[in-house]
Amino acid sequence: MSASGQMQGAKDPLRLVLVGLQGVGKSAAGNTILGGREEFESDVSSTCLTLRSEVRKARVCGRQVTVVDTPGLFSRSLLDAEVKLELEKALMLCAPGPHVFLLVVQLGRFTQEERSVVEKLKKMLGSNVESYLMVLFTYGDRLKSKTIQQFIEEDKNLQTLIQKCGGQYHVFNNTDEENEVQVRELLEKVDNRLKTRINQPYFVVKVRNTWAKIFYFALPVLTALAFAAVLRYIKRGVPAEPAEHLKKFLKQE
């Protein structure tokens, strides 16, 4: 691709869906991405503030960016079935679907639930969601003198989670929400993530795969129905010679 083509691609619209446990800073991360404005209700609280999927849009770093905030997985305020419905709603809010799911993880808080969060998402949205995941760490100011790489190297469970997300991650400093550099770097990483696979939104791929499965399981049934219809047609009095040719053809198949 030419340099001009890469520049053009970098300005393409992006659609991002924030997922993760409640209280990890999903809404705050969404506000940071959208330029530090209070687009999503955000507060330091153990109470889940986001009970419904919400969408906000803004022009960020010279491109149109759509961000969808979702309720927390393993929520104490919603049933799993309700969270699943809200995740499916999130896909529609950013139709034709997100380019990336940002799995938000709070630095210094990596629980047993977070270790199984990818499996939870696969159960709710389908196994191919794994190809669209990227870890977004919040509260990067807690690293202090450490680098994010050093922090990850100290936790094998965290390494496993990142591997499940294609090895892709980024960190936000929540005390500096208006820092455009950390947002620009995130968008660049998302662009690089898109280069590793066909640039198709998740919902498009999900629908395509669903129809492929339907066709795969329906084909034997449709074939049997067609064969039965042909036999009925033969029995109703098709001339002998064409009928014999048809029978031979069907046997060959």
pLDDT tens by residue, 128-138: 888 899 999 99
pTM above 0.85, yes or no: no
CB 57 within 8 A of CB 63: no
Q: Are residues 167 and 244 in the same domain?
A: no
State how far Cα 109 lies from the chain centre: 23
Residue 239 shares a structural domain with residue 188 = no
The total of structural domains in the chain comes to: 2
59 in the same domain as 115: yes
167 and 216 in a single domain? The answer is no
Q: Are residues 99 and 223 in the same domain?
A: no
Same domain, yes or no, for 15 and 72? Answer: yes
Domain identity same for 120 and 10: yes
Question: Domain span at residue 224?
Answer: 205-252
Enumerate residue ranges in the chain where pLDDT < 70: 1-10, 43-49, 177-178, 197-222, 227, 230-253
**Structure token pair of residue 152:** 């990850």
Residues 195 and 214 in one domain: no
How many other C-beta atoms are found inside a 10 Å radius of the C-beta of residue 71? 23
Give the pLDDT of residue 129. 87
Domain identity same for 23 and 146: yes
pLDDT at 116: 87
Judgement on whether residues 163 and 209 belong to the same structural domain of the protein: no
Note the pLDDT of residue 192.
Answer: 87
Buried b (16+ CB within 10 A) or exposed e, 111-142: eeebeebbebbeebbeeebbebbbbbbbbbeb
Question: At which of 158, 176, 200 does a domain end?
Answer: 200
What pLDDT is recorded for position 22?
86
